[in-house]
Amino acid sequence: MIELRQLRYLIAAAEAGSFSRAARSINIKQATLSRHVLEIEKRLGMALFDRKTRGATLTPNGRTYLRTAQRIVKEFEELNNWVRATNNGHVGKLAVGFYTSFSAGNLRATLSEFGERHPEVKVSGFERDRDMLLAGIENGLLDIAIMIGEASYRGLMSRSFWSERIFVAMPAGHPLTQCERIHWPDLTGEHFLLTERDPGPETRNILMGKLGVPGCMPEIDMQDIGRETMLSAIALGGRLSIVAESALGIQVPGVTFSEIHDSHGHMRIGFSGYWREDNDNPVLLRFLDLVAGRYSLPPILMPQPSHHQPEKK
């Protein structure tokens, strides 16, 4: 069988036009190079170089074979480069799950930057509720899910990623739109509309915690509608909603967004990433590295496989 290195020797001789120059360029003895070229010719049963002339002059068959050899070596090098890039996370696929708006905010900015840095990686986004995202991770359909809050799930790694400001969505004519700054007590007595889909239940918990008092709970309508439909209903008047900063990219006529403050200043909500602890996708590690660098987080370490030593008897 003809070896790849022999094809490299043949190509070097043909391109240099001299066996001696080719041998020097690849740092081997001329006799070694000549021997391997002769072995190729014997295996093919044809002369590739004209030995009657000085230098390394290809025969017609040699010129034809050279093109084949160059193609084989080129394809092999491309394959090696692809394997190295895949192992390093520069190419491949990344499946990301989320349930917040992708129209603005840190999620959009992070995935955009990752795509710019790694154009050979195919990033797929999946917008589902929390339970569906967790099932997707457990089944290996998703590499990572980015969700509101912090929680612990068996078999999953997690890490706090970033936070976003919280806004109240109001119809354009609402009296609170005239306020320079809105605090939670300003929302007492208001009627709220939230989606039953995530992050609606989490938003409801925030409202109950901020506005609920014994004997008086905020009036909250939970409806099975999407984010855009919810905001369109807000524009009709009579109700408000609470959204994360990422929703500000949704343009709905007649809806105004105002930031909510508490006693410490900006009111924020945290986002965390969740992934299987046995996920060995190199692209995931690249993504986690980018998140850590972008948001000044400590390095995110992936678990290393344990190596158990057999007990001595």
CA distance 83 to 85: 5
Let me know: does 37 contact 50? Beta carbons within 8 Å: no
Same domain, 26 and 71: yes
Owning domain of residue 279: 92-162+270-294
User: Is 244 found in the same domain as 149?
Assistant: no
How confident is the model over 218-267, as pLDDT tens digits? 999 999 998 999 999 999 999 999 999 988 888 899 999 999 998 877 88
Cα(28)–Cα(55) distance, rounded to whole angstroms? 17
Residue 195 and residue 157 in one domain:
no
Cα 250 to chain centroid, rounded: 23
pLDDT digits (tens, 9 = 90+) for 167-214: 999 999 999 999 989 999 999 999 999 999 888 999 999 999 999 888
How much is the average pLDDT of 49-69? 86
Q: Is 303 a member of any domain?
A: no
Let me know if residue 310 belongs to a domain: no
Q: Are residues 25 and 154 in the same domain?
A: no
- Reported as a single tens digit per residue, the pLDDT across 76-94 is 776 666 556 555 556 689 9
Question: Are both 174 and 264 inside the same structural domain?
Answer: yes
Domains identified in the chain, total number = 3
Q: Is residue 5 a contact partner of residue 71, using CB atoms and an 8 Å limit?
A: no
The vertex-269 CA angle with 265 and 273, nearest 5°, equals 145
Name the band, by pLDDT with cuts 50, 70 and 90, for residue 313: very low
Residues composing the chain: 313
CATH number at residue 197: 3.40.190.10
pLDDT for position 214: 82
> In angstroms, rounded to a whole number, what is the distance separating the alpha carbons of residues 169 and 284?
35
Q: Based on the domain organization, do 171 and 264 belong to the same domain?
A: yes
Examine residue 311 and state whether it is found in any structural domain, yes or no.
no
